[in-house]
Amino acid sequence: MADSTPESEHSEQDPHTEYLLRYYSELAEKLARGEISKADFANQLTTERKALEKRADHDGLLTEFYNSSGFLKELDRAIDLAKRRPELAGSLLALDVDQFKRFNDTFGHPKGDELLKTYADVIQKQTRGTDILGRLGGDELAVYLVACDQADAEDVAKRIRATTLKTIKDVFPDLGWEQTISIGIAPLEEIDSPKSLRSRADEALYEAKQSKNIIIRHSSFRPPSPS
């Protein structure tokens, strides 16, 4: 019987879809021939599914960082957990690459990607595996430090700032200017929601960006004014 699927439908499949179709077909054939057990089949499907989920929630360039939607989901879970277990309350760092447009305009976007990866590597090395790392868009990064109070969060931010300055000089020795990072800090408070915590961290970051290469801590939660 002839294949009734229009030829154009086959041609429009992207390479990753074609890969998945081939992968799952081969896996099913191995199961049918008895070359793999049902447990092996289930394990391989689970592994592939987890890889797909990671690609969906993580940034395409900074692969160890969540993308914006993935970060917000993880932040929501972390805050919900902290409401039930206050000892796990943490702090949110909002980070922004200083003079990123100048760098891209001078060296081009491929080098700009290298710069972002360098920043990401510094941040990852100065944080823990339990912390939540995110790229919210462009050169805007975020870190939720789990079970981390204000003083410890400031220490982490200082290490990130100092290590960034040194590392960028080592990786890009002929840059011609100091490539720095600005950081805003907002410790989680009992009344916070993910939205209010992000808003406070962003406010602190905005203030830090006015001078660049500084760390600003948001003082406290301010409830919205009555309308």
For the segment 188-221, what is each residue's pLDDT rounded down to a tens digit?
Answer: 999 999 999 999 999 999 999 999 999 999 976 4
The model's pLDDT over 161-193, given as tens digits with 9 standing for 90+, comes to: 999 999 999 999 989 899 999 999 999 999 999
Contact 197, 188 (CB under 8 A): yes
Secondary structure of residue 137 in the 3-state scheme: strand
Q: How far apart are CA 140 and CA 204, in angstroms?
A: 14
Instruction: Name 57's Cβ contacts closer than 8 Å, sequence gap at least 6.
Output: 66, 67, 69, 70, 73
The model's pLDDT over 46-98, given as tens digits with 9 standing for 90+, comes to: 655 555 555 568 898 999 999 999 999 999 999 999 999 999 999 999 999 99
The model's pLDDT over 8-46, given as tens digits with 9 standing for 90+, comes to: 444 456 666 776 778 778 888 887 888 888 787 676 666
Q: Which fold has domain 68-217?
A: Alpha-Beta Plaits (3.30.70)
Indicate the length of the chain as a whole number.
227
Predicted confidence band at 2 (pLDDT cuts at 50, 70, 90)? Answer: very low
Region of 108 please: left (phi>0), alpha (psi -120 to 50) or beta: left
Domain boundaries, the chain: 12-57, 68-217
Q: What is the dihedral of CA 8, 10, 15, 20, to 10 degrees?
A: 150
- Per-residue pLDDT, 36: 82
The structure's pTM equals 0.75
